[in-house]
Structures are given as C-alpha cells and as structure tokens.
Chain A
C-alpha cells in the first residue's frame, strides 16, 4: 500500500518538474514549434504503456502456470492501467496529429495497434464483469490477455504493410540534448505513476477477490439466498 502511494506521489512530482521544464525551459522545436511539446508526455506514455502491457502479459502466463490468485489481481490491475494509458495515448496522438498531419487519425501501424489493443482490453474487462465465478473469470481473462498480447505484433506488422506515415520512434539518441531532461523526467514520472496505479489497483483487486472467496458470514442468510 505504502509503496503504491510513494510511487504515485513521486510520479506526480517528477511529471510536474518534467512538464515545467518541457513547457517553459526547453526551446521550441524548429519545424513543429510548440506543438512538439506534447511529446514530453506522449513518448513517456507510449514507453510505459508497453511496459504495463508486457507485465500484464507475464502475469497472465504466470497465473495459468501457478493458479495463484495474486497474479489474477495483477492481471486485472494491468488491464485497467494499460487501458487508461492506451486511451491517453490515442488522445495525445490525435491532439498532436491534427496540427501536424492535418488529420485527427491516421492508419499508421503504431496508432492502429494501440487502438486495437485498447478495444481488446476493454473487451476483456467487459468479460470480467459478466463472469461471476472468480476462478473462471481469472482463467478466462488470462487466456484472453495472452491471445490479445500475441496479436499485437501481428497487428503492428500487418498494418505496417498496409500503410505507413508515423515518424520513426524517438529515443534519447535521436532527440537533441536540450530535450533530454524533460523527456527523461517525464518518462520516470509516468513510470512511477503507472506502476503506482498498478500496485494500488492490485491491492484493491486482491481484497475484493478475498471478499468474494470468503464464506458467507451467517448460515441463515446464505440459505435464504439459495
């Protein structure tokens, strides 16, 4: 619990510092001007989205092998946080794309893959809502998470063949050194914030699961329900 709160607070502080530097200190980009400043949140969101998706995928595999409920809680947390990050990613991308490319949306491999996985994860979260048996819910959502995550590279690859316009990924090497510090600060900020959310959400999910698994308190009540 404490670790999660510390991570969230640290994330907010880092994000505030990085965004201040990115908005007011770093120079405007030569061709895109101030629009480019959205990259200070967009790129860190993209990196951390990938990290959260990978941890969710790993938790799903671990759940299928160990059947340990703690991994199910992690899967639930990972699904929700990566859905949030993917949604933010699509919004930030659209805000950047409109003034730069002139369109809100483009059928680029990265954009499309994020959108596809966003819909897939929303579908899995919906499935979780409709399954009452906690054991089945855990197994099915792990299976669906694995299937969706395996799909990601295939979607990326196929859409890349289909159409491409997105610029090459940014790494600190391709970015001028004046942009480094805000980008790095924000990358760690979003990292702390996302994993703080994952940790807190895992605790909530685990407690909820515990409650579901616990025997009904009074025998008479259970009899009435049945």
Chain B
C-alpha cells in the first residue's frame, strides 16, 4: 500500500498492511524550519514555505501524512481576529483578550474569507503538496470547529460564561460560526486535501462530556454530512467522558490526548471510530529520548490504536530524532 492508501484505509476502518503514522496537527520544529529554510512566522503565511516545511513530515520524518496547517489561527485571522505572529520559535496566537464580537448577531463571515492571505495560504499550500506528493502521501488539511473559533472571536472567558448563562445564545453563535468551518473545509477538499482535522477545543479541563453532548455532538454530525471527506476530530485533554458521544458522530477518527490511556479509549470507542495520536508532547517527545517515544508508540500499537502520531502540535523545539522514532517504531513493530 502507498502511504496515502494506508491512511485512508485506516480512516475508513478497512484493513491495512501496517498501522499508518499520521500527523493530524503539526510536526513542524525549528530544526525542520532550518533544514528547508522555511521559518515561522512566514511559514504560516506564505504557501511555498508552508508546503516546504509541511513536506518534511514525510520526507524527513517518515510519516504517512503531510499536514501543512501548523497553527490554529488561519481562519480566525481571516475572520478579523488580531493575531500575535510571534517569531520562529513560538506559535502565532489569537489575541483573545481583544475579542472582535459580543453577540451572535455580530458574526459576519467576510466576503474575502477564502481569499484572505491566511486562508488562501493554506489552500495554495495544499495545491502545491497535492501536485508534488498527492499520488503517494495523504494530504491532511484542517478546519477549525465553531467552539474553538468561539474562543478566538468572543474571548475564552466571555464565551464559556455565556455557555453557562445563555445556552440559546451560545447555540446561535455556534450556528453562525459553523459556516466558516464548512466553507474552509470544502475549499480545502477542492484544493486537494484527502482528509481534514477538525479541532474543536471543548477540552477536558474546561468542558464536560455532557457539555459536548449538549452543544457539539449534533454539530459534528452535521459536519460529517456537509464536508464529504474523512474528518479527524481533535480535542485536547482527558476526554474519555465524551468518547462515546464522539464515536456516534460519524467522524472518521478522534485525535486523542495522552491524558487518556490507549486501552481504555479503545474499549470505549470500539470499532465505531478510529483513534489517532496519544504520543505525549511535553514530557516525552520534547523532554525525553527516542526509547521513551518508542515505548509509547508500542503501547498504542499493542492496544490496537488505528493510526499513530503525536497527541497535538509538537513543541517547536522537539528533537527530530524523537519524531523519527514514531515511524521507525511502527515499521519495526509491524515487521516483527
């Protein structure tokens, strides 16, 4: 199987020749930026740099996927949020202390949403990657869910307080923002994406499983219907309390955090949805060595996790050797 066939088969629950390695978020590091001379922040804003840096995930690290959307701010920038672009060694972030909207009625998806520099960059990078690698490697795009964009556009605290005080207003906001999720997702499919990550940060530390069911489960079902491509839902943190709900959405995969054990997570989702991720970022990939990375990969493999990769966007100072240990371990485990 090619890398692309392997990844897509795993996302569709079909047999694979070996477990694919998949990066649904980002494996960009400062070392890889140096290797191909494509540093942040420009690699988030210029398609050629974005594509060149993203390709290293396959060409240098050996993953079966290429994911060019390193950050979580591209569409929020196009919606009008203020962005702190930072430097090579730090992530661009939305200035959430300066929200752009207060009520659902304020939401306006600009006419240039898909031609804005920061969304256009993603679309163009996907086209470049599709041309260069699209026959063999799965190109994964990313479209942010409305809960995440709610944080960005309304501010974290106001948005969470609103969700407590006024569920109807919260739902109207989610309904308004979901169109941005769909539009950007569909545009990436047209550009050549084979699958999409859909981060929607109803994270385990702030939002309960019940909240997920109340506000997001139906929306996620709707995304599956309206975005005709395998979707990989990403939510950080401890999420076993909502995995059963997530498994019912029709999403192809759930990108899950190392705060959830592979065995317990597989037990909950069973064959209803693929699991991907789980290799710990701050303590293992960033702070330890290839042996420890390999041990976590093996734990996921023996638990039957469908696609193996980091739990989230890896720290920018992660050592290349540690990231290479993920595909290397999968390869050697599959050969034994």
Q: Do A and B bind each other?
A: no
